[in-house]
Amino acid sequence: MNRTSNAGIFLKRLGSRAAFSAPNGACSTPKLAACFLVLTLAVLEISAPAQDIAIARAASVLQPQTYVSLQPVPRGHAFEIAVVAKVTPGFHVNAHEPSEEYLIPTKITADLPAGISIVETDYPRGVMRAFRFSKTPLRVYETSFTVRMKMRAGNTAALGHQKINLTVGYQACNQDSCLPPTKVPAEVEFDVAPVDAPARPANADIFSPKSPIQH
């Protein structure tokens, strides 16, 4: 909905409410509070749906997929998780280490089950791009990028099926402007096996040394 149509709806709603609260079309002193309330409600009715749409749109820009390097993961073994995030064409998200302090970085957090720990998280550096809204080029992720999380299954990790809930926080922008910062969920599932179980590699195309961090 454009600004013109928003203004039209605003005036129509305001006119009908004002006619109801002030039949003579004037906000006299005793009615100032009521008139102000009418105006506030009218503005909120217009701005709230627009804000909801912007938030929903922001959450749809990035689509994460997860992979695990071993299946199953024996106790006492290190393993990796990869989050491959696709970015909607025409948009970008700020790098984990942005080129300007005011930019909101892309960051992944994990809710870990007992006995599973994070050793290190490797983010891609990103690429420098020029945008109309910035005087200087900015470091961003575009098209797709991969974040690798080095993990370890301790000797106390529960045997059997495990799930790690992830949250990807980011701010998406296009060439002209930015959407509200948002977070999207992701999860990775795997099995924990006894310490003497064989470690079976999985998703070799993702975890190959030649597999690019950003592609």
List CB contacts of 114: < 8 A, sequence separation 6 or more: 156, 157, 158
212 within some domain: no
Are 98 and 196 contained in the same domain?
Answer: yes
Where residue 193 sits, what CATH number does that domain have? 2.60.40.1250
Q: 16 or 120: which carries more pLDDT confidence?
A: 120
* Number of domains present in the structure of the chain: 2
Are 114 and 42 contained in the same domain?
Answer: no
Mean per-residue pLDDT of the chain: 81
Checking if the pLDDT of 190 tops 60, the result is: yes
Instruction: Assign 24 a pLDDT band (cuts: 50, 70, 90).
Output: very low
CA 181, chain centre distance (Å)? 7
Q: 155 or 215: which carries more pLDDT confidence?
A: 155
* Residue tagged 């370890």 (tokens): 152
Are 120 and 152 contained in the same domain?
Answer: yes
Q: Which residues of 147-184 are buried (b: 16+ CB within 10 A; e: fewer)?
A: bbbebbbeeebeeeebebebebbbbbbbeeebbeebeb
Give residue-wise pLDDT tens across range 124-159: 999 999 998 888 999 999 999 999 999 999 999 999
pTM of the prediction?
0.73
Q: At what angle do helices 3-21 and 32-60 cross, to 10 degrees?
A: 150
Are 123 and 184 contained in the same domain?
Answer: yes
